[in-house]
Structure 1
Amino acid sequence: MRDLYSNIATRLALAPAVQSASVDGVAIDTAGFNSVAFTVNTGAIVSAGDFSVKLQGSDASGSGFADVAAGFVDSNAPTTLEAASAYKLGCRGNKRYARVVLTKAGGTSIALGASAVLGDPTQAPVA
């Protein structure tokens, strides 16, 4: 099958909400897939909110997460996220689990949510 729909899976990486502190996203299990990317959608920012996103990886779902080296991340996200925007972050790391991390450097809050897109499945079509 050559359609995209049958060759990707999506997972909730960070539930859409108004975030007022740094927060770790859900650990995404990449087993059965050879690639993962994250989409981050922002809404309103309050009081000059200064927030950024990064990717972390681990061999275990509940511990051992560390920042993915810059050379293994492709991203169009700026250092400080902007209101009402969409970004993508691709991870070329070799860890089984990946997550997005929102970091607060200042301000009050940001409305934000993130999804994981798993691609290049070992078995297709993906349900």
Structure 2
Amino acid sequence: MRDIANNIGTVQAVAPAVLSATNTSDALDLKGFQSACLVINTGAIAGSGDFTAKLQESDTTTSGDFTDVVSEHLIGELPATLEADSVVKQGYIGHKRYLRVVTTKNSGTSIAASAVLIKGHADVRPVE
């Protein structure tokens, strides 16, 4: 009853790195899952870095088909500016098959960051 590990899927959206430019993740496939949660983990910020993050969705993996997720399909809000040494999360309850994470550099030098997509409400359990 208390087991979460066999009930969720995880996928690396943004590998841990120092980001010095806008970063767009690959398409993240939600096939077989009915919900998702984005978790962003940050480290140091250099040169007064100002970075924002958002989720985009699509029915295909074609880059031009992705659009920003509407607020009605999000649970919680990501901060207007990512803070140093923090962890933030945002839930997704939309109906598109693919998501991606866009981390935008607005100003400054860099931010150390990573992102993981946790996929929930699996169609088949246990999740491998």
> What band does the TM-score fall into relative to the shorter chain?
over 0.9
Cα distance in 1 for residues equivalent to 2:100 and 2:91: 11
Mapping of residues 1-127 of structure 1, within 5 Å: 2-63=2-63, 64-127=65-128
Shift of 1:71: 2.0
Answer whether contact 2:34 2:93 (CA < 8 A) is retained: no
Shift of 1:3: 1.5
The runs of 5 or more residues in structure 2 that have no matched partner are none
Cα distance in 1 for residues equivalent to 2:112 and 2:12: 15
Shift of 1:76: 4.5
Identity %: 48
Greater Cα shift, 46-55 or 59-68:
59-68
Greater Cα shift, 117-126 or 65-74:
65-74
Cα distance in 2 for residues equivalent to 1:42 and 1:2: 29
Q: Aligned-pair RMSD on alpha carbons?
A: 1.2
Residue 86 of structure 2 aligns with an amino acid whose one-letter code is: S
Residue 10 of structure 1 aligns with an amino acid whose one-letter code is: T
Cα distance in 2 for residues equivalent to 1:75 and 1:101: 17
Shift of 1:75: 3.0
Greater Cα shift, 71-80 or 103-112:
71-80
Residue 106 of structure 1 aligns with an amino acid whose one-letter code is: S
TM-score w.r.t. length of structure 1: 0.95
Cα distance in 2 for residues equivalent to 1:65 and 1:76: 19
Cα distance in 2 for residues equivalent to 1:75 and 1:103: 19
Residue 83 of structure 1 aligns with an amino acid whose one-letter code is: A
